[in-house]
């Protein structure tokens, strides 16, 4: 008799399900790895492009220049506020003179 007992059949079914789940997981991991490799390659390409753009430029000097420009921007904004305040004051005085 070649009949399989119900217990053996159930065990084989469970084993089959586990193998299918494992195969699915392996495929998902392969897909994830491929995606991550593509992302890594893209990041490497972008890094290389950035390095080429900065080639020959001193990053510390660029950061110093950026800080200087920001400081200058704050000074200009302060001067602009001072000029606006003076103009408002002069306008008020002119309005009083006209009254």
Statement to judge: residues 8 and 46 lie in one domain: yes
Statement to judge: residues 46 and 83 lie in one domain: no
Reported as a single tens digit per residue, the pLDDT across 60-71 is: 888 999 999 999
Q: How far apart are the first and last CA of the chain?
A: 120
Domain residue limits at 64: 58-99
Reported as a single tens digit per residue, the pLDDT across 2-24 is: 556 777 788 899 999 999 999 99
Statement to judge: residues 71 and 46 lie in one domain: no
Statement to judge: residues 13 and 41 lie in one domain: yes
CA dist 8 and 13 (Å) reads 9
CA dist 68 and 27 (Å) reads 53
Three-state secondary-structure class, residue 97: helix
Statement to judge: residues 43 and 78 lie in one domain: no
CA dist 58 and 11 (Å) reads 68
Q: How many independent structural domains does the chain possess?
A: 2
């Amino acid at each position: 008799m070649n009949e399989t007992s119900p217990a053996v059949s159930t065990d084989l079914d469970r084993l089959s399900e586990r193998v299918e789940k494992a195969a699915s997981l392996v495929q998902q991991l392969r897909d994830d790895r491929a995606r991550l490799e593509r992302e890594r390659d893209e990041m490497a390409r972008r890094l290389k492009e950035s390095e080429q753009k900065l080639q020959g430029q001193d990053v510390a000097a660029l950061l110093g220049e950026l800080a200087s420009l920001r400081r200058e921007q704050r000074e200009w904004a302060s001067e602009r506020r001072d000029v606006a305040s003076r103009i408002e004051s002069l306008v008020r005085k002119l309005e009083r003179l006209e009254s």
